[in-house]
Structure 1
Amino acid sequence: MKFTLSWLRDHLDTSASLDGIVGALTRIGLEVEGVENPAEKLGAFTIARVLTAERHPQADKLQVLSVDTGAGEPVQVVCGAPNARAGLVGVFGAPGTYVPGSDLTLKVAAIRGVESKGMMCSMRELQLSDAHEGIIELAEDAPVGTAFADFAGLNDPVIDVAITPNRQDCMGVRGIARDLAAAGLGTLKPLDVPVIAGGFPCPVEIRTDDPAGCPAFHGRVVRGVVNGASPEWLAKRLTAVGQRPISVLVDITNYVMLDHGRPLHVYDVAKLEGALVARKARAGEQVEALNGKTYALAETMTVIADDAAVHDIGGIMGGEHSGVTEATTDVLIECAYFDPEGIARTGQALGLASDARTRFERGVDPAFLHQGLAIATRLVLDLAGGEASAAVVAGTAPVIERTIHFDPALTARLGGLAVPADRQAAILKRLGFAVAESSDGHSLSVTTPSWRRDVEGAADLVEEVIRIEGIDAIPSVPLPRAEGVAVPTATPAQLLERRVRRAAASRGLNEAVTWSFLSESEAAAFGGGAWTLANPISEELKVMRPSLLPGLLAAARRNADRGASEIRLFEIGRRYAADAEHPTLGFVLVGDRSARDWRQGKATGFDAHDARAEAVALLAAAGAPADRLQVMAAVSGVYHPGRSASLRLGAKTVLAEFGELHPATLKAFGLAGPVMAGEIFLDAIPGKRASGRMRPAYAPPALQPVTRDFAFLIAADRPADDLVRAVRGADKAAIVDARLFDMFTGTGVPEGEKSLAVEVVLQPSDKSFTESDLTAIAGRIVKAAEKVGARLRG
Structure 2
Amino acid sequence: MNFSENWLRELVEIDADRDTLVRALTMAGLEVEDVTPLGECLEHVVVAQIVAAERHPQADRLQICQVDAGLGQPLQIVCGAPNARIGIKVPLAIVGAKLPNGVAIKAAKLRGVESNGMLCSAKELAIDADASGLLELPSVAPVGQPLATYLGLPDASIELSLTPNRADCLSLHGLAYDVAALFGSAVKLPAAVAVAVSSDARRGIRLEAGKDAPRYLGRVVEGIDPSARTPLWMAERLRRAHLRPISAVVDITNYVMLELGQPMHAFDNDALHGDIVVRHSRSGETLKLLDGSDARLDEGFVLITDEQQVLAVAGVMGGHESRATETTRNVFLESAHFAPAAIMGRARKLGLHTEASHRFERGVDPELPRRALERATELLLAIAGGKAGPILVAENIADLPRPAPVALRRARLKRVLGVDVDDSEVTRIFTALGMQVTIHPDGWQVVAPSSRFDIEREEDLIEEVARIFGYDNIPTLRPSGALALAVEPETRIGELALREQLAARGYHEAINLSFLSLELLTRWGFTDELVSLANPLSADLAVMQPSLLPGLIEALRHNRARQQERVRLFEVARVFAAGDPPRETPSLAIVACGNARAEQWGEPSRALDFHDLKGDLDALIAWGGEPARWSVDATSLPAWLHPGRGARVMRDGKTVGYLGALHPQLAKALDLGADVHVMELALEPLLARRLPLARAVPRFPTVRRDIALDLPEEVRWSQVEEAVRQALGERLQELRLFDRYSGKGVEQGRKSLAMGLILQDASRTLTDDDADRCIREAVAALEQTCKAKLRG
Is the 1:549–1:587 contact (alpha carbons within 8 Å) kept by the matching residues of 2?
A: yes
For residues 774 and 282 of structure 1, do their structure 2 counterparts lie closer, same or farther at Cα, with a shift above 3 Å needed? closer
What does residue 569 of structure 1 align with?
570
1:407-422 to structure 2, matched below 5 A, reads 412=413, 417-422=419-424
Instruction: State the 1:304 CA deviation.
Output: 3.3
Alignment of 1:71-470 (within 5 A): 158-164=159-165, 167-172=166-171, 174-184=173-183, 190-191=188-189, 205-210=202-207, 213-218=214-219, 220=221, 222-225=224-227, 253=253, 257=257, 260-269=260-269, 272-275=271-274, 277-280=276-279, 286=285, 288=287, 290=289, 292-295=294-297, 303-323=303-323, 329-330=328-329, 332=331, 334-340=333-339, 343=342, 356-357=356-357, 359-360=359-360, 363-369=363-369, 372-373=372-373, 387-390=385-388, 392-395=390-393, 412=413, 417-433=419-435, 449-452=449-452, 464-470=464-470
- What TM-score do the two structures reach when normalised by structure 2? 0.61
**SS of match in other structure, 1:490:** coil
The Cα shift of 1:263 comes to 1.1
Which residue number in structure 1 is paired with residue 94 of structure 2?
none
Identity %: 24
- Looking at structure 1, the residues matched to 374 and 669 of structure 2 have their Cα atoms a distance apart, in angstroms, of 54
In the alignment, which residue of structure 1 is the partner of 2:619? 617
Residue number in structure 2 paired with 1:92: none
- Report the Cα distance in structure 2 between the residues aligned to 1:629 and 1:403, rounded to whole angstroms: 51
User: Which of 719, 723, 726 is the aligned partner of 2:716?
Assistant: 719
Structure 2: state its 5+ residue gaps.
38-79, 83-128, 136-153
Distance in 1 separating the partners of 2:604 and 2:256: 67
| 3-state SS of paired residue (2:644) | strand
CA displacement 1:4-29 (0-9 Å, x = unmatched): 7869967775756779846754x545
Q: Mean Cα displacement is larger for which, 608-617 or 518-527?
A: 518-527
1:564, CA displacement in angstroms? 6.2
Q: 1:426, CA displacement in angstroms?
A: 2.6
Does structure 1 retain, via aligned residues, the 8 Å contact 2:334–2:373?
yes
> Which residue type is aligned with residue 645 of structure 1?
A
Deviation at 1:689, TM superposition (A): 0.3
Q: 1:268: Cα distance to partner? A: 3.8
Give the direction of change, closer, same or farther, for the CA distance of 1:183–1:296 in structure 2 (3 Å limit): same
Distance 1:343 1:515 in 2: 26
2:714 and 2:269 map into 1 onto residues whose CA distance is 79
**CA distance in structure 2 between the partners assigned to 1:544 and 1:522 by the alignment:** 12
Q: 1:233 and 1:23, CA in 2 relative to 1: closer, same or farther beyond 3 A? A: same
- In 1, Cα distance between equivalents of 2:266 and 2:558: 45
Letter in 2 for 1:506: A
Kindly provide the CA deviation profile for residues 588-640 of structure 1, in whole angstroms up to 9, marking residues without a partner as x: 214435944669999876543333222211111223326x7433125451432
8 A contact 1:526–1:547 mirrored in 2 = no
Q: 5 Å matches for 1:443-522? A: 449-452=449-452, 464-470=464-470, 473=474, 489-492=487-490, 495=493, 497=495, 499-512=497-510
Cα gap change, 1:21/1:629 in structure 2, threshold over 3 Å: closer, same or farther?
Answer: same
Contact between 1:528 and 1:546, CA under 8 Å: does it hold in 2? no
- Contact persistence 1:210–1:279 (CA under 8 A): yes
Pair 1:632 & 2:633 matched: yes
* Higher Rg: 2
SS at match of 1:615: helix
Structure 1 contact 575–584 (Cα < 8 Å) conserved = no
Structure 2 distance, partners of 1:467, 1:501, is 40
Name the structure 1 match of 2:43.
none
Distance in 2 of aligned mates of 1:773 and 1:367: 88
Tell me which residue corresponds to 1:106: none
Contact 2:493 2:624 in 1 (8 A): no
Distance 1:547 1:224 in 2: 61
Spell out, residue by residue over 1:190-242, the C-alpha distance to the aligned partner (whole angstroms, 9 max, x if none).
Answer: 456898989x96796344343983353245465425999x9997897677xxx
What CA distance in whole angstroms lies between the structure 2 residues aligned with 1:611 and 1:406? 55
Q: Compute the displacement of 1:277 (Å).
A: 2.4
Match of 1:422, SS? helix
User: Aligned letter for 1:321?
Assistant: E
RMSD: 6.5
Is 2:638 the partner of 1:641?
no
Q: What are the residue-to-residue correspondences of 1:703-782 with 2, within 5 Å? A: 714-722=711-719, 736=734, 738-739=736-737, 751-753=748-750, 755=751, 758=754, 760=756
Contact 1:5–1:158 (CA<8 Å) still a contact in 2? no
The letter of the residue matching 2:505 is R
C-alpha distance in structure 1 between counterparts of 2:520 and 2:601, whole Å? 39
Unaligned runs of 5+ residues in structure 1 are 40-86, 90-130, 142-152
Matched-pair contact (CA < 8 Å) for 2:279–2:302: yes
Is residue 213–residue 338 contact of structure 1 (8 Å, CA) maintained in 2?
A: yes
Q: Which residue type is aligned with residue 592 of structure 1?
A: G
| Aligned residue type for 1:641 | P
Q: Which residue of structure 2 aligns with residue 62 of structure 1?
A: none
- Residue 764 to residue 313, structure 1, CA distance change in 2 (3 Å): closer
| Count of equivalent residues | 658
Encode CA deviations 1:416-451: one digit per residue, 9 max, x unaligned: 65332332333233213467x99x999999775453
* Aligned counterpart, 2:121: none
- Mapped contact 1:593–1:604 kept (Cα < 8 A): yes
Q: How far has the Cα of 1:645 moved from its partner? A: 0.9
Distance in 2 (CA, whole Å) between partners of 1:718 and 1:401 is 66
